[in-house]
């Protein structure tokens, strides 16, 4: 399997999720399956089916997280010699040149991306447009809804 880039913070978040799944979610679903089994006929037992489905999801997510973490290349944004350029792990403040709205995004690995937390994947069109640029540069992002232009206002490595 290929190396998976992760920030230190992202890897810690995935480790916490894995720990919770193994120590809380897995035992809980095992108890739910045992409880459902005690109700008798499994062929018409919706609780049993739901618990088994949940168990499958949990086991799949555990396997996925273990795979990601075992193949992770941890990158500390503070330790990268970037010379003021946008690199993996950088937090970038940008301004939309049309609407004048400002946004802040951190460029992270695919496994830790979460737009609700302003964490964008290194493979996203926005991140690809920013990589290698400096403060004051204009980037163009092509999207299905049209092209957008942004100015890079500030780059930080936190």
- Same domain? 80 vs 152: yes
pLDDT at res. 58: 97
Check if the beta carbon of residue 139 is closer than 8 Å to that of residue 129.
yes
- Same domain? 59 vs 94: no
35, 56, 74 - which closes a domain: 74
- The domain containing residue 11 runs over which residues? 4-74
- Same domain? 36 vs 52: yes
- Same domain? 138 vs 114: yes
- Same domain? 87 vs 59: no
- Same domain? 87 vs 150: yes
Interhelix angle 26-37/46-70, nearest 10 degrees: 160
Q: Which of 148, 81, 119, 143 is nearest to 5 (CA)?
A: 119
Per-residue pLDDT of the chain (158 residues; tens, 9 = 90+): 689 999 999 999 999 999 999 999 999 999 999 988 887 777 777 888 899 999 999 999 999 999 999 999 999 988 887 788 999 999 999 999 999 999 999 999 999 999 999 999 999 999 999 999 999 999 999 888 889 999 999 999 98
pLDDT at res. 1: 63
41, 74, 107 - which closes a domain: 74
- Pairwise CA distance, residues 116 & 69, whole Å: 22
74, 102, 118 - which closes a domain: 74
- Same domain? 59 vs 108: no
Q: What is the CATH number of the domain that holds 66?
A: 1.10.287.180
pLDDT at res. 2: 83
Q: Count up the domains in the chain and report the number.
A: 2
For the whole model, what pTM was predicted?
Answer: 0.83
Q: What is the CATH number of the domain that holds 108?
A: 3.10.50.30
């Amino acid at each position: 399997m290929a190396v998976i880039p992760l920030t230190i913070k992202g890897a810690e978040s995935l480790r916490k999720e894995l720990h919770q799944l193994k120590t809380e979610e897995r035992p809980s679903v095992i108890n739910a399956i045992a409880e459902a089994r005690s109700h008798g006929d499994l062929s018409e037992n919706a609780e049993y089916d739901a618990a088994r489905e949940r168990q499958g999801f949990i086991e799949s997510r555990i396997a996925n997280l273990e795979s990601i973490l075992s193949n992770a290349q941890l990158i500390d944004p503070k330790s990268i010699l970037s010379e003021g350029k946008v690199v993996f792990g950088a937090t970038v403040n940008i301004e939309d040149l049309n609407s004048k709205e400002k946004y802040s995004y951190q460029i992270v690995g695919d496994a830790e991306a979460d737009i609700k937390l302003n964490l964008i994947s290194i493979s996203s069109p926005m991140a690809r447009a920013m990589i290698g640029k400096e403060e004051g540069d204009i980037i163009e992002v092509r999207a299905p809804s049209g092209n957008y232009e942004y100015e890079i206002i500030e780059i930080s490595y936190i």
